[in-house]
């Protein structure tokens, strides 16, 4: 694999644009993004091809899996990003709703963390999971992940009290506090950003989720992307033309693959 410094953006196909954005907002921000020309490309929710040939439509504790490079090769793609959450890296059991090629492959999961969903068909949509899941069969593919970072241009996750408040009365208080720590701790992230009709796929170096949400928004700490909506994807990697931002060390049953329309 090439390193980030070795990525030759000029070799990307027309309609895909790579950019490295750095800023201090005041948080230090370093974003590696790929912007899709919506007239030419779409980001598909994709799974290992053999899986689509089976009759089962329920989650499996031992799914066939690929590295990002495998997805890129098998789907002839220049850009691939890690897919949904896993409840187990040993059995590769998926966590959250997965739909690919008009087949529902894993059930929905109710959680504050997986409160967002990406769906695609002729176009795409980033929305709150509770809004879109009732309409899921109208899409070609969907992937439940999260949390939501930006909605209607406004950064989410900013109010610790709302983050701690929950109707899940049976959840111990220590788990509520862990939510606060999760969004305030610096770590690497993957994200999807909806900028009007344009989709942006990104990887960021270590930053708190709250700060990332502000950086992606159209607020005063925004870095220029001005996402209308944005959601987090699980940690992993962004594969761009042979270069990986993050890592490609974990085999995954699904990914989001950029393909020609």
| Residue 87, domain extent | 15-260
Does residue 96 lie within any of the structural domains? yes
> What's the pLDDT score for residue 5?
54
pLDDT at 56: 44
> Is residue 224 one of the residues assigned to a domain?
yes
Asked if residue 127 belongs to a domain, the reply is: yes
10 in any annotated domain = no
Q: Please state the rounded mean pLDDT for residues 107-133.
A: 94
pLDDT tens per residue, range 2-46: 445 557 888 899 999 999 999 998 889 999 999 999 999 999 999
What tokens does 99 get? 């739909």
Residue 10's pLDDT is 83
pLDDT computed for residue 260 by the predictor: 94
- Does some domain include residue 111? yes
Q: Enumerate the H helices of the chain as residue ranges.
A: 68-74, 129-132, 160-164, 173-184, 209-216
pLDDT of residue 4: 56
Q: Is the pLDDT of residue 171 over 70?
A: no
| Residue at 2 is within a domain | no
Mean pLDDT for 184-205 is 95
Sequential DSSP letters for 232-258: EE-SSEEEETTEEEE---S-BSEEEEE
Determine, yes or no, domain membership for 1: no
Total structural domains in the chain? 1
Q: How far is CA 227 from CA 16, 128, 197, in A?
A: 18, 15, 11
Chain centre distance of CA 228: 15
The helix-helix angle for 173-184 and 209-216 (nearest 10°) equals 50
Q: Which of 65, 105, 61, 108 is nearest to 87 (CA)?
A: 61
For 47-87, the pLDDT digits (tens) are 998 776 654 444 444 568 999 999 999 999 999 999 999 98
């Amino acid at each position: 694999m090439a390193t980030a410094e070795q990525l030759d953006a000029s070799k990307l196909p027309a309609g895909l644009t790579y950019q490295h954005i750095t800023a201090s907002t005041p948080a230090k921000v370093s974003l590696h993004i790929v912007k899709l020309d919506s007239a030419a490309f779409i980001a598909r929710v994709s799974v290992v091809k053999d899986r689509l040939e089976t009759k089962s439509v329920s989650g499996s504790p031992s799914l066939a899996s690929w590295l990002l490079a495998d997805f890129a090769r098998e789907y002839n793609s220049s850009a691939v990003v890690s897919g949904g959450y896993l409840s187990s890296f040993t059995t590769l059991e998926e966590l959250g709703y997965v739909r690919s090629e008009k087949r529902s492959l894993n059930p929905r999961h109710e959680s504050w963390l997986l409160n967002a969903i990406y769906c695609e068909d002729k176009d795409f949509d980033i929305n709150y999971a509770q809004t879109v899941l009732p309409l899921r069969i109208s899409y070609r593919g969907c992937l439940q992940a999260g949390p939501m970072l930006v909605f209607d241009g406004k950064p989410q996750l900013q109010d610790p009290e709302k983050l701690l408040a929950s109707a899940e009365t049976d959840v111990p208080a220590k788990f509520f506090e862990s939510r606060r720590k999760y969004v305030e701790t610096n770590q690497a992230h993957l994200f999807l950003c909806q900028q009007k009709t344009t989709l942006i796929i990104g990887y960021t170096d270590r930053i708190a989720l709250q700060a990332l949400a502000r950086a992606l928004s159209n607020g005063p700490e925004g870095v220029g992307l001005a996402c209308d909506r944005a959601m987090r994807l699980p940690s992993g990697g962004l594969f761009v033309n042979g270069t990986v931002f993050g890592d490609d060390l974990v085999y995954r049953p699904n990914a989001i693959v950029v393909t020609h329309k």
